[in-house]
Amino acid sequence: MTRSSFLNGQTALVSLGASVPGIFARGVVAASNEGSAPNKTLVILQLAGGVDGLNTVVPHKDPAYRDARPQMALAEQSLLPVNDRAAFHPALSKFKDLFDSGKVAIVEGVGYPNPTFSHFKAMDIWQAADPQGSLENGWLGRYFDGLTDLQGHPLAGASVGSRLPKAFYADNATVAAIANEQTFGLQPAFGANDNADRTASLLKMYDLYRPANMPYAALLDTTLDNAQTASAHLQKAAAAYKPAVQYPQTPLASGFRILAELIDSSVPETGLRVGQVTVPGFDTHTNQPSRLEALLTDTSNALSAFWADIVGHGQADDVLVLAWSEFGRRVKENAQQGTDHGSAGLMFLLGGQVKGGFYGAPPSLHDLDDGNLRFTTDFRSVYATVLERWLGAPSDAILGKRFDQLDFLPT
Amino acid sequence: MPPEISTEPSERKLIRRRVSRRALLAGSVIGAQVAGAYAVLGDPLALFGSSGASDGPVGEAVRGDTKAIFKESVRISHLLRRTGFGVSPAEYDRYQGMGLQATLDELLNYDRIDDSEAVAAMQKAGEGIGLVPTVNSWLTRMAMTKRPLQEKMTLFWHGLLTSQLSVVVDREAMEAQVDIYRQQALGSFPTILKAVWRDPAMMEYLNIDGSERNAPNENYARELMELFALGIGNFSEKDVREAARAFTGWHVPRQRGGREGKYLLKTPVFRPQGFDRGMKTVLGKTGNFSPDDIVDIVVAQPASAQYIVRRLFEFLVYPNPTDAELEPFVEAYTKGDRSIRAAVEAILRSDVFYSPKAYRAFVKSPVEYTIGAIKALNGQGQLEELTAGNPRLGGVTGQMGQTLYEPPDVAGWPGNTSWLNASTMFARINFLNTVTGGAPNRRNPNATPAMGPRGLGTAAQALDHFVPLVLDDNISDEMRQLLVAYAGGADSTLTPEKLRGLIYLVLASPQFHVC
**ipTM for the predicted complex:** 0.85
Contact state of A204 with B482 under an 8 Å Cβ cutoff: yes
The pLDDT confidence band at residue B386, using thresholds 50, 70 and 90, is low
Q: How far apart are CA B361 and CA B82, in angstroms?
A: 10
B391 in contact with A at a CB cutoff of 8 Å? no
B66 in contact with A at a CB cutoff of 8 Å? yes
- How many domains are contained in chain A? 1
Which member of A4, A177, A190 has the closest CB to residue B440?
A: A190
Nearest partner of A386 among A377, A375, A376, A398, judged by Cα? A398
pLDDT at position B261 over 90: no
Contact state of B501 with A190 under an 8 Å Cβ cutoff: no
Contact state of B422 with A198 under an 8 Å Cβ cutoff: no
pLDDT at position B162 over 90: yes
What pLDDT sits at residue B440?
Answer: 65
Please write the tens of the pLDDT for every residue from B3-32.
333 333 333 233 322 322 222 233 222 333
The pLDDT confidence band at residue A190, using thresholds 50, 70 and 90, is confident
The pLDDT of B132-160, averaged and rounded, is 95
The pLDDT confidence band at residue A289, using thresholds 50, 70 and 90, is very high
Last residue of a domain, one of B300, B330, B361: B300
**Sequence-ordered alpha helix ranges (H) in B377-474:** 383-387, 393-399, 422-435, 459-471
Interface test with B, best of A114, A210, A216, A222 (most B CBs within 10 A): A216
Distance in Å, alpha carbon of A9 to nearest chain B alpha carbon? 14
What pLDDT sits at residue A20?
Answer: 24
**Residue range(s) defining the domain that contains residue B173:** 147-300
Interface test with A, best of B74, B205, B421 (most A CBs within 10 A): B421
What pLDDT sits at residue B61?
Answer: 55
pLDDT at position B258 over 80: no
* Strand, helix or coil for residue A318: helix
Closest-approach residue (CA) in chain A for B475 = A209
Q: How many Cβ atoms sit within 10 Å of the Cβ of residue A38?
A: 10
A183 in contact with B at a CB cutoff of 8 Å? yes
Residue A281 sits at φ, ψ, to 5 deg, of: 110, 5
Which member of B418, B422, B501 has the closest CB to residue A189?
A: B501
Same domain assignment for residues B326 and B189: no
Give the best-scoring range by mean pLDDT among A110-119, B162-171, B461-470: B461-470
Closest-approach residue (CA) in chain B for A177 = B423
- How many domains are contained in chain B? 2
A12 in contact with B at a CB cutoff of 8 Å? no
How far is residue A308 from each of residues A102, A257, A277, A350, B235, measured CA to CA in Å?
A: 14, 11, 17, 12, 53
Same domain assignment for residues B279 and B321: no
What pLDDT sits at residue A355?
Answer: 98
Distance in Å, alpha carbon of B112 to nearest chain A alpha carbon? 36
The pLDDT of B397-426, averaged and rounded, is 90
DSSP state of B291: H
The pLDDT confidence band at residue A213, using thresholds 50, 70 and 90, is low
Task: Decide if B285 is inside a domain.
Answer: yes
DSSP state of B380: G
Distance in Å, alpha carbon of B504 to nearest chain A alpha carbon? 9
A180 in contact with B at a CB cutoff of 8 Å? yes
How far is residue B147 from each of residues B111, B142, B346, measured CA to CA in Å?
A: 8, 9, 19
What pLDDT sits at residue A326?
Answer: 96
Nearest partner of B163 among B398, B408, B419, judged by Cα? B408
Residue type, A49: G
Task: Decide if A385 is inside a domain.
Answer: yes
Contact state of B510 with A183 under an 8 Å Cβ cutoff: no
Task: Decide if B372 is inside a domain.
Answer: no
* Residue A392 near residue A33 (C-beta atoms within 8 A): yes
Contact state of A215 with B359 under an 8 Å Cβ cutoff: yes
The pLDDT confidence band at residue B57, using thresholds 50, 70 and 90, is very low
Task: Decide if B436 is inside a domain.
Answer: no
pLDDT at position A23 over 70: no
Task: Decide if A381 is inside a domain.
Answer: yes
The pLDDT confidence band at residue A206, using thresholds 50, 70 and 90, is very high
What pLDDT sits at residue B55?
Answer: 39
What pLDDT sits at residue B7?
Answer: 31
Task: Decide if B200 is inside a domain.
Answer: yes
**Residue range(s) defining the domain that contains residue A67:** 37-141+159-165+229-399
B496 in contact with A at a CB cutoff of 8 Å? no
pLDDT at position B96 over 50: yes
What pLDDT sits at residue A1?
Answer: 29
pLDDT at position B59 over 80: no
* Residue A203 near residue B54 (C-beta atoms within 8 A): no
Last residue of a domain, one of B321, B350, B379: B350
Same domain assignment for residues B276 and B201: yes
Nearest partner of A52 among A329, A369, A253, judged by Cα? A329
Q: How far apart are CA A126 and CA A348, in angstroms?
A: 15
Which of A 357-396 lie inside 8 A of B, CB atoms? none
What pLDDT sits at residue B387?
Answer: 58
Which member of B3, B430, B514 has the closest CB to residue A215?
A: B514
Contact state of B2 with A204 under an 8 Å Cβ cutoff: yes
Same domain assignment for residues B161 and B296: yes
The pLDDT confidence band at residue A11, using thresholds 50, 70 and 90, is very low
Same domain assignment for residues B296 and B165: yes
B412 Rama sector, left if φ>0, alpha if ψ -120 to 50, beta otherwise? left
Contact state of A220 with B510 under an 8 Å Cβ cutoff: yes
Cβ contacts of A174 on chain B, cutoff 8 Å: 421
Task: Decide if B199 is inside a domain.
Answer: yes
Which of B 399-418 lie inside 8 A of A, CB atoms? 399-401, 408-411, 416-418
The pLDDT of B116-142, averaged and rounded, is 90
Q: How far apart are CA B360 and CA B67, in angstroms?
A: 11
Higher pLDDT, B287 or B60: B287
Contact state of A209 with B486 under an 8 Å Cβ cutoff: no
Contact state of B363 with A231 under an 8 Å Cβ cutoff: no
Contact state of B510 with A212 under an 8 Å Cβ cutoff: no
What pLDDT sits at residue B448?
Answer: 56
Closest-approach residue (CA) in chain B for A221 = B510
Task: Decide if A204 is inside a domain.
Answer: no
Same domain assignment for residues B229 and B290: yes
B62 in contact with A at a CB cutoff of 8 Å? yes
Which member of B409, B426, B434 has the closest CB to residue A186?
A: B426
Among B38-47, B296-305, B430-439, B496-505, name the one with the lowest average pLDDT. B38-47
Work out the mean pLDDT of chain B and round it to a whole number.
Answer: 85
The pLDDT confidence band at residue A212, using thresholds 50, 70 and 90, is low
Which member of B408, B425, B437 has the closest CB to residue A227?
A: B425
B314 in contact with A at a CB cutoff of 8 Å? no
Among A256-270, B161-175, B240-254, name the one with the lowest average pLDDT. A256-270
Task: Decide if A337 is inside a domain.
Answer: yes
The pLDDT of B374-382, averaged and rounded, is 88
The pLDDT confidence band at residue B232, using thresholds 50, 70 and 90, is confident
pLDDT at position B286 over 70: yes
Task: Decide if A12 is inside a domain.
Answer: no
Query: Residue A281 is part of a domain; what is its CATH number?
Result: 3.40.720
The pLDDT confidence band at residue A181, using thresholds 50, 70 and 90, is confident
Distance in Å, alpha carbon of A48 to nearest chain B alpha carbon? 13
Task: Decide if A7 is inside a domain.
Answer: no
The pLDDT confidence band at residue B391, using thresholds 50, 70 and 90, is low
Which member of B319, B400, B505 has the closest CB to residue A201?
A: B505
* Residue A246 near residue A258 (C-beta atoms within 8 A): no
Distance in Å, alpha carbon of B400 to nearest chain A alpha carbon? 7
Same domain assignment for residues B168 and B274: yes
Residue type, B291: P
What pLDDT sits at residue B167?
Answer: 84
* Strand, helix or coil for residue A324: strand
Give the best-scoring range by mean pLDDT among A34-48, A138-152, B243-257: B243-257
pLDDT at position A243 over 80: yes
Among A310-314, A334-338, B273-277, B487-491, name the one with the lowest average pLDDT. A334-338
Please write the tens of the pLDDT for every residue from A68-124.
999 999 999 999 999 999 999 999 999 999 999 999 999 999 999 999 887 778 999
What pLDDT sits at residue B11?
Answer: 30
Task: Decide if B514 is inside a domain.
Answer: no
The pLDDT confidence band at residue A334, using thresholds 50, 70 and 90, is confident
Nearest partner of A288 among A94, A79, A71, A120, judged by Cα? A71
DSSP state of B174: H
Closest-approach residue (CA) in chain A for B441 = A190
Which of B 118-157 lie inside 8 A of A, CB atoms? none
Which of B 81-110 lie inside 8 A of A, CB atoms? none
Please write the tens of the pLDDT for every residue from A304-319.
999 999 999 999 999 9
A159 Rama sector, left if φ>0, alpha if ψ -120 to 50, beta otherwise? beta
Contact state of B421 with A174 under an 8 Å Cβ cutoff: yes
Same domain assignment for residues B182 and B314: no
**Secondary structure string (H, E, C) spanning B341-364:** HHHHHHHHCCCHHHCCCCCCCCEC
Q: How far apart are CA A329 and CA A54, in angstroms?
A: 8
Please write the tens of the pLDDT for every residue from B185-201.
999 999 999 999 999 99
The pLDDT of B319-340, averaged and rounded, is 97
Query: Taking chain B, what is the end-to-end CA distance rounded to the nearest angstrom?
Result: 29
* Residue A166 near residue B470 (C-beta atoms within 8 A): no
Cβ contacts of A162 on chain B, cutoff 8 Å: 398-401, 423-424, 427
| Cα A402 to the center of its chain, rounded Å | 22
What pLDDT sits at residue A172?
Answer: 77
Q: How many residues are present in chain A?
A: 411
Same domain assignment for residues B169 and B292: yes
Residue type, A31: A
How far is residue B266 from each of residues A136, A212, B165, measured CA to CA in Å?
A: 39, 56, 16
Among A190-199, A332-341, A350-359, name the one with the lowest average pLDDT. A332-341
Q: How far apart are CA A227 and CA B431, in angstroms?
A: 16
Same domain assignment for residues B289 and B346: no
Closest-approach residue (CA) in chain B for A285 = B167
DSSP assignment string, A3-62: HHHHHHHHHHHHHTT---TTHHHHT----TTTT--TT-EEEEEEETT---GGGTEE-TT-
Nearest partner of A381 among A351, A349, A352, judged by Cα? A349
What pLDDT sits at residue B385?
Answer: 64
Q: How many Cβ atoms sit within 10 Å of the Cβ of residue A133?
A: 13
Work out the mean pLDDT of chain A and round it to a whole number.
Answer: 87
Which of A 208-267 lie inside 8 A of B, CB atoms? 208-209, 211-217, 219-221, 223-224, 226-227, 230-231
Same domain assignment for residues B296 and B320: no
B425 in contact with A at a CB cutoff of 8 Å? yes
The pLDDT of B157-178, averaged and rounded, is 94
* Residue B377 near residue B503 (C-beta atoms within 8 A): yes
pLDDT at position B496 over 90: no
Same domain assignment for residues B318 and B289: no
Interface test with A, best of B423, B425, B478, B480 (most A CBs within 10 A): B423
pLDDT at position A33 over 80: no
What pLDDT sits at residue B128?
Answer: 83
**H-helix or E-strand spanning residue B219:** helix B219-223
The pLDDT of B407-417, averaged and rounded, is 89
What pLDDT sits at residue A153?
Answer: 84
The pLDDT of B409-418, averaged and rounded, is 89
Task: Decide if B92 is inside a domain.
Answer: no
